[in-house]
Structure 1
Amino acid sequence: MDEIVRKSSLMGELVIKQVSKELAREMIIKNHYSHKWNNGGFGKYNFGIFRQGDDRCLGVAVYGHMKNPNAKIFTHPNPKAWMCELNRMWIDDELGKNAETILIAASIKLLRKVDPDCVAIQSFADGRLGCGTIYKASNFRYYGFHYTRFLVNQRTGEVVHEQLFTNSTSLSGYIRNNVGYLLKEFKIYTVRTYRYIYPLDKKFQFCKSEKPYPEYQKGMDEVKWERDIKKIKERVKALIDAIPE
């Protein structure tokens, strides 16, 4: 198995290598602030960071498919070319923040070896935490931001993406969240989501122009979300009635 060893004056010798999807999933659900894992797209390639001589995995970088893998948002002469996404990353506080850049740089180098058809890496910075300073430090390019709507359940504290209120693919999530919405359990916020891309090939061309790195800021703004209450009730009732007995 390929691995990369990096020496650090503060952290000693660090080893970065591929780890199983099961280990990465377990660590992300347990430790990442989202505590969530998308079984459909996450974890095609997973890389862990270890201290030399220590079997404990102290962080993972999870690379998988984009939310919409068929979106035509870049060009490349290789017909097999694809852009992966850095879906999740978590580092144990034991190592410190400098370990993030070490893990990103080493995992990118390993990713190039295991999948030559992967021509770029996309990742998004959650504006609730910042604007993606770690990506700037890792030489990702910045391509602007968009607003994402999140809802916070005031009863349970759960944070839910707006898509789970409009996409009924996940039946239980759609019904449960919309019932909570009807009961006014949620506060609604908009958050800036910053897009960063790391090209792995000079022939990769993204569909939008690169922008200067953003100024630092973080947080979220409470907003109203005007929805058709009657249609929500009708849709939820129809889905409940269609559940087999």
Structure 2
Amino acid sequence: MKKTTLIIKEIPKDEAVFFIRKYHYSKIMPKLCKYFLGVFSKEKLLGVVELGWGTQPLQTIRKLFPDHNLKTKDYLEIGKMCFLPEMNQNNYFGSRTLSTLIKWLRDYTDCLFLYTLADGIEGKCGYVYQASNFFYCGYFKTSVYRDSWTHEKIHPRSARILLEENARFENVSKKHWLTQEFCEYKGIEKINGRMFRFLYPLTKEAQKLLEAYPYQRQNYPKDKDLRFEKRVGYRKYEKIPHPTFDRQTFFYNTQNVHS
């Protein structure tokens, strides 16, 4: 494919959300969105990047830099990034998009860092971020729920109603995690995996901050570093192959898909 000149600019939220829900593997939109950016070649929209923060914005940056008083304003997180299917066949398009995005952030924001996660539960190790020379900041374990019959991946934000039902099921006031007994009753699985952290410094100040921490541009995670396990009893898990999810089922996720 002929190399194209890329331009990134803000686009209307509705246009970005439509594109994301058409082409991204996950239809769930983040709650804390700040920028919706279109990736263009001439006038053709080739991709969309949503920037904002995750569910714990301040805690995220404080965990990365515990010895510095950084704020949420000091970074932005890639919540969604997706392209037209034909662009996914171009091994360099993702890296070129990130390069253009970094330039846009330097021109139009005062952020110190661009932060992102590679979703290991989805089998993603963040190869596009590795190719773009991001710093690798380690991994953390994460959990999702899956309907054992439909294989719908139940987003944590969608589990609120289930948690309320779980509390009534056990005759308690509140639950923070779905219990094994309730999940067996509902036909729901709890699956653990890994999330891989990546960080890119946008300024000389950010680069200097990184020198005080062990983050590095080497020893990147690979497929062998993926881990998957399913709960089979109270605090008991067994290793499983890469889980699959049905993207077209929205019984539990309806509110977050259409909100």
Partner of 2:38: 48
Q: Structure 1: which amino acid aligns with 2:114?
A: I
Aligned CA distance change for structure 1 residues 137 and 15 (closer, same or farther; 3 Å): same
| Distance in structure 2 (CA, Å) of the matches to 1:78 and 1:70 | 8
| Distance in structure 1 (CA, Å) of the matches to 2:20 and 2:70 | 33
Q: Is the 8 A contact 2:30 2:54 kept in 1?
A: no
SS in structure 2 at match of 1:134 = helix
* Mapping of residues 182-193 of structure 1, within 5 Å: 182-193=184-195
| Distance in structure 1 (CA, Å) of the matches to 2:56 and 2:70 | 19
* Mapping of residues 138-177 of structure 1, within 5 Å: 138-161=132-155, 165=159, 170=160, 172=161, 174-175=163-164
Q: Which has the higher contact order (CA 8 A, sep 6+)?
A: 2
| Distance in structure 2 (CA, Å) of the matches to 1:16 and 1:89 | 13
Matched, 1:216 2:197: no
| Distance in structure 2 (CA, Å) of the matches to 1:10 and 1:183 | 55
Q: Is the 8 A contact 2:137 2:215 kept in 1?
A: yes
What is the number of residues matched between the two proteins? 210
1:120 pairs with one of 113, 134, 146: 113
TM normalised by structure 2 equals 0.69
Aligned CA distance change for structure 1 residues 48 and 15 (closer, same or farther; 3 Å): same
Matched, 1:137 2:125: no
SS in structure 2 at match of 1:23 = helix
Partner of 2:85: 93
By how many angstroms is 1:200 displaced? 1.1
- Percent of aligned pairs sharing the same letter: 26
Q: Structure 2: which amino acid aligns with 1:193?
A: M
Q: Is the 8 A contact 1:66 1:85 kept in 2?
A: yes
Aligned CA distance change for structure 1 residues 157 and 92 (closer, same or farther; 3 Å): same
| Distance in structure 2 (CA, Å) of the matches to 1:150 and 1:78 | 29
Q: Which runs of 5+ in 2 are unaligned?
A: 167-177, 236-259
Aligned CA distance change for structure 1 residues 89 and 79 (closer, same or farther; 3 Å): closer
Q: Is the 8 A contact 1:136 1:213 kept in 2?
A: no
Cα deviation, 1:185-231, whole Å, max 9, x if unaligned, reads 22332211100001112323358521433341165523216569xxx
By how many angstroms is 1:184 displaced? 4.2
Q: Is the 8 A contact 2:57 2:72 kept in 1?
A: no
Matched, 1:104 2:98: yes
Aligned CA distance change for structure 1 residues 14 and 83 (closer, same or farther; 3 Å): closer
Aligned CA distance change for structure 1 residues 79 and 161 (closer, same or farther; 3 Å): closer
SS in structure 1 at match of 2:231 = coil
TM normalised by structure 1 equals 0.72
By how many angstroms is 1:25 displaced? 1.9
Greater helix content = 2
